[in-house]
Amino acid sequence: MFFSKTKFANRMLSTQIKEKKIKISSNISINFVQSGEGPKNILCMPGALGSAWTDFKPQLEFLPKLLPEHRIIAWDPPGYGKSTPPKKNFTVNFFNKDAEYAHELMLELNSSKYSILGWSDGGVTAMILAATQNKIVEKLVIWGANASINDEDIKLLEAMRDVKTWSPRMREAMEKVYGVEGFQKLWTDWLNTMLSIYNEKGGNFCKEEVEKISCPTLIVHGKKDPMISKEHVPYLKKKIANCRYYEFPEGKHNIHLRYAEEFNKLVSEFLRS
């Protein structure tokens, strides 16, 4: 039997990627996607309301070729994607709780050491995890992330409260996962939690944890990212001791999707260094 190059590539890809559910503490069932079979481990942490497939498809599909010695694991945090039930438990400390759950997942997957790729909200969770598990997290890559939320960020988020005002391209993937009404409800709950963090904690996500990160860290930034105010990246560069920085001059918030090939190459070189 003969296959075209595309069909052959797809067939090879399908043998590398596995999607499963596994139970961690409190009987919570976590959905995750794994690609590659290497002895080293990478955990991919999605952004707000995100999941393995909505946020990391190009990494799951192509990083194994660049990093054959790694196993790439992308999860759906509890209450997101296919990790439901339970319903997402939004509290002012949900980032910290998600960091605990993520670490439990990796232990269940026999990953005693691992590196992390964290985007946006996932970058916040990743920084907390890197700080609290500094003997276990080997390397950290973050982008679109911030250690706190300020007045400018709140104004930006409030302007996005009604998802109907978003472009169809921005909301399409989430509406496929949650449905139109479900997406709006979950987004509203998330946004209200940001307001609670702003009012109750002075907007502090993880300022204390950031200063405790000791692993080699790569901060990647889209210079035209409209989702975070300008103070956040300089703050992280200053506070994370062992960090490198790379900027996409035309990049916005989703540089790992928009510039997937360049991003994957950048990340693989950092993780191999």
Residues 6+ apart with CB under 8 A from 264: 58, 59, 62, 63, 66, 256
121 catalytic? Reply is: no
Catalytic residue among 225, 229, 232, 256: 225
Give the other-Cβ count within 10 Å of 50's Cβ: 24
Tabulate helix, strand, coil % of the chain (nearest 5): 50, 20, 35
In the chain, what's the furthest Cα-to-Cα distance?
Answer: 64
162 catalytic? Reply is: no
Catalytic residue among 115, 120, 148, 229: 120
CA nearest to 19, candidates 10, 28, 30, 32? 32
Strand order of the β-sheet with 137-143 is 18-23, 29-35, 70-76, 40-45, 114-119, 137-143, 217-222, 243-248
Catalytic residue among 70, 103, 253, 256: 253
Contact 226, 151 (CB under 8 A): no
221 catalytic? Reply is: no
Catalytically active residues, by annotation: 120, 225, 253
